[in-house]
Amino acid sequence: MMQSPKQFNLACRIATALGCVRRALPVHTIALAAIFLLFIGLPSHAAEPIPDGPASGPLNIHIPPHNPPSTNTTVIQRGKKSNLPSLRLVALLTGDGQQIDQGLVWRIFRTLGPAGKAKLVLESHEATPLVKLPPGEYTVNAAFGRANLTRKITFKAGGPPYEAFVLNAGGLRLSALIDGKPAPPGAVTYSIYTDDHDQFDSRSMVISGAKPNLIIRLNSGIYRIVSQYGDANAKIEADVTVEAGKLTETTVAHTGGKATFKLVTRAGGEAVPDTRWTIQTEDGEMIKESVGALPTHVLAPGKYVVTASSAGHLFKNHFEIKDGDVKSVEVLMTSAATDTDTTGGTVIAPMHDGSAFAGSDGPSLDFKSQ
């Protein structure tokens, strides 16, 4: 076996050092010590990167022995198989990065029949599964959280011993603040959208209802984050860039106030049940609709008009929300609507079409930065 100059020099130094104690130790003990130190001194190849594509030489990474009965692999049996070509699947974070050794899901499909329908033939949760399948072309998907890569590979006798999938994956962790403090559990959720737009100028959703402070695995790229405080219009939108092999951390600071709505026959009275509520801005933009005696919503700072629908009539009130508010908004029922000056007061109006707010526009589905 050929030795590199570094290995040869290391062996010489070991031999010299052991020569100093040869009189005090048996010969076989010295020989075993020399072999042990030689292997300790040799450089490790376990962390060396794997190039994408077929191997040009032996696989220089540590792969655990393949155990066919493993419960992490589900094979869809298609008949008796023997002497099938095998292929080792490996996933990397980046082209020159580390091997992914947990959290992977491999799915292999094969297109069969004139209709070209893809059938799942194997699913594995092993980090580096050794796959044996009949010769042919297959579609392989490697998923690591929300990051994934799909490629077509060919199984054939005498083919490459392994196939490396470079996911170019990174992580995103979002932290949310309310009033300068970490958001309470359940107060904030966020959605992630791709940067690409379809023919309707809409973005594709990657994940919705994500919780703050958790790491979301994503392919590298630019993403739009929509962070939601409460269930109304207290939202923040931002674009973030996820880099391959890195964790991107971002913090959003939400503003808003909580308002509890109550339809009453007199100030401070009991809430009227089965009331339908509509909240709009002073410009008429729809913010939130709900039903109940005492609904509570988080609203972005601003001025609003609330409309309560009960017994075939609409009752209105104007109110304002400031950052950090926790307030009760009462809507007073009256027997007639004679006062045309509605500033700070309550208005009653007949309901012409049975809707919660006759003549109003439907709720807007467009995201708006707050």
Q: Is the pLDDT of residue 352 over 50?
A: no
> What distance lies between CA 181 and its chain's CA centroid?
24
Whether the CB-CB separation of 242 and 217 falls below 8 Å is answered with: no
Of the ranges 7-11, 261-265, 304-308, which one carries the lowest mean pLDDT score?
7-11
Per-residue pLDDT tens over the stretch 144-171: 999 999 999 999 988 889 999 999 999 9
Please state whether the predicted TM-score (pTM) of the whole model is above 0.75: no
Residue 118's pLDDT band (cuts 50, 70, 90):
confident
Mean pLDDT across the chain: 77
Whether the CB-CB separation of 353 and 314 falls below 8 Å is answered with: no
Q: Is the pLDDT of residue 62 over 80?
A: no
Q: Is the pLDDT of residue 39 over 50?
A: no
Count CA within 13 A, CB hemisphere, residue 282: 10
For position 82, what pLDDT does the model report?
A: 58
Q: Is the pLDDT of residue 345 over 70?
A: no
Q: Is the pLDDT of residue 365 over 90?
A: no
For position 46, what pLDDT does the model report?
A: 33
Per-residue pLDDT tens over the stretch 251-282: 999 999 999 999 999 999 999 999 999 999 99
CA distance 347 to 354: 17
For position 76, what pLDDT does the model report?
A: 53
What is the enclosing helix (H) or strand (E) of 40?
Answer: helix 27-41
Residue 71's pLDDT band (cuts 50, 70, 90):
low
Higher pLDDT, 244 or 78: 244
Residue whose C-alpha is closest to residue 330's, from 342, 318, 312, 314: 318
